[in-house]
Amino acid sequence: MQQRKGAPLRYDAQRNRDRILEVALAELTLSADAPLSVIAKKAGVGQGTFYRNFPNRESLVLEIYRHEVEQVADAAPQLLKTHPPAEALRAWMDRLAQYAMAKAGLADALRKATTHGSLMGLSHGPLMAAVTLLLTANEDAGTIRPGVTPDDFLLAIAGIWQIDPHGDWHPRAARLLDLVMDGLRAGAPGTPGGASTD
Amino acid sequence: MQQRKGAPLRYDAQRNRDRILEVALAELTLSADAPLSVIAKKAGVGQGTFYRNFPNRESLVLEIYRHEVEQVADAAPQLLKTHPPAEALRAWMDRLAQYAMAKAGLADALRKATTHGSLMGLSHGPLMAAVTLLLTANEDAGTIRPGVTPDDFLLAIAGIWQIDPHGDWHPRAARLLDLVMDGLRAGAPGTPGGASTD
DNA sequence: ACCTGAACACCGTTCAAGT
DNA sequence: ACCTGAACACCGTTCAAGT
């Protein structure tokens, strides 16, 4: 631990890190098991430098994933401004699905690099914030049942990471998301019926 | 392809295959990335023999998974005899969740070995048969909406494979499964409200 | 027909030497 | 303080030689 917590990286070091991330995104999106040595070489850095920045495959993949998913997360506030809560939630899920399909190689890399699907290892940060925002807006509007946690939600839509992006993914994703939406609605203030707790 | 389709294996060959599967189940349940060479050695066979039976890691893991999941699948008819359809479905999901937690190492191995979560690469066979049985029983009884495919169902519960088996998995699994059940119920003949298709 | 185990290839990880 | 790239370790895969 030679690097103090807040201290900025040296100029060239920062540049190296950025190049690694840039190359890694491209390579991993293309193929989930692109060798780290290839990424290092294409980024123009030595193996050692690569390792200084990312001590293992998981840390690299998580960092990229985190950065990429931020962009989807950022769409949430905007959607809530322009749509009623339930529609915003559903539209956001669609975006996430689209993202999951576009970056399927990356999602695959994440699955392989991490123990358990820690797609939710991102327990804090923008993704969680976005989900929380969407859920509370809907809960307040009475469009979903109260008490659904972001964790519940992410588990419920976990299936989207499992859909094959080749072939006809769109209807499969839509059916899954519809089903989840119905599950979320069940027991909402307006709706009768709903959650069984025997 | 020296082995004709229906031709039985030679006695020692069959024994080797069985021993590999037995050892692999134990090793992979313990650690998802147990080296194949270790499995071969513990099973008392050479590398070549291992390869003759399982040309790659995926084929080994899939075979074990298929065999293991059969036992859960087999519980479905029994549950339908002793419970009303909706309860049987829910009870079966609970068993699947328990299985997923007990064999988490294996599930992890499967995730890592396959492209996309082909937990559903088992598109035919006992698992699908069991799910179909449960879904049609419920559909006939009017306890779930019509038109839910086994594929839809497995995607909806995909989250259970993502739950960390250490720590407090039970409430998380229960909340997920409750939500899925509610989603399945929505739009059933008896129930008002339900699926939005805009 | 099936088996063994040494040999090979590949990739992640480390480290001595440089600036 | 950071970098390079050769060296090492490990594991999947193949194959010549054996029964």
pLDDT for B143: 96
Minimal Cβ distance to A185: which of B116, B161, B186: B186
CB B36 within 8 Å of CB B50: yes
For residue A89, pLDDT over 90 is answered with yes
pLDDT for B195: 46
* Contacts (Cβ under 8 Å, ≥6 apart) of A33: A109, A112
pLDDT for A111: 84
Strand C nucleotides, any atom under 7 Å from protein beta carbons: they are 1-7, 10-16
**A39-79 confidence digits (pLDDT tens):** 999 999 999 999 999 999 999 999 998 899 899 999 999 99
- Cα–Cα distance between A183 and B196 in angstroms, integer? 12
CB pair distance less than 8 Å for B152 and A175 = yes
For residue B114, pLDDT over 60 is answered with yes
CB pair distance less than 8 Å for A180 and B176 = no
For residue B189, pLDDT over 50 is answered with yes
Give the confidence band of B7 by pLDDT, cuts at 50, 70, 90. low
**Angle CA B164–B180–A184, to nearest 5:** 105
CB A187 within 8 Å of CB A145: yes
Mean pLDDT calculated for residue range B163-172: 90
**B115-159 confidence digits (pLDDT tens):** 765 555 566 789 999 999 999 999 999 999 999 999 999 999 999
The two tokens of residue A178 are: 């519809």
Distance B189 CA to C2 C1' (A): 60
Show which of residues 114-143 on chain B sit within 8 Å of chain A, judged by CB atoms.
115-117, 119-120
Q: What percent of chain A has pLDDT over 70?
A: 87
CB A144 within 8 Å of CB A160: no
CB pair distance less than 8 Å for B182 and A194 = yes
CB B102 within 8 Å of CB B173: no
**A100-115 confidence digits (pLDDT tens):** 899 888 888 888 887 7
Closest among B22, B12, B133, B145 to B73, alpha carbons compared: B133
Is A178 within 8 Å of chain B by CB? yes
Least confident of A16-30, A84-98, B21-35, B153-167: B153-167
Contacts 24+ apart (CB under 8 A), B20-27: B20/B45, B20/B50, B20/B53, B20/B54, B20/B60, B21/B63, B21/B64, B21/B67, B24/B60, B24/B64, B25/B64, B25/B68, B25/B106
**B74-100 confidence digits (pLDDT tens):** 999 999 999 999 999 999 999 999 998
Distance B53 CA to D16 C1' (A): 20
On chain A, the residues whose CB falls within 8 A of the CB of B61 are none
Mean pLDDT calculated for residue range A110-139: 82
Mean pLDDT calculated for residue range B156-182: 93
Alpha helical stretches, state H, chain A:
11-30, 36-43, 47-53, 57-82, 85-102, 104-113, 126-141, 150-156, 169-185
pLDDT for A121: 56
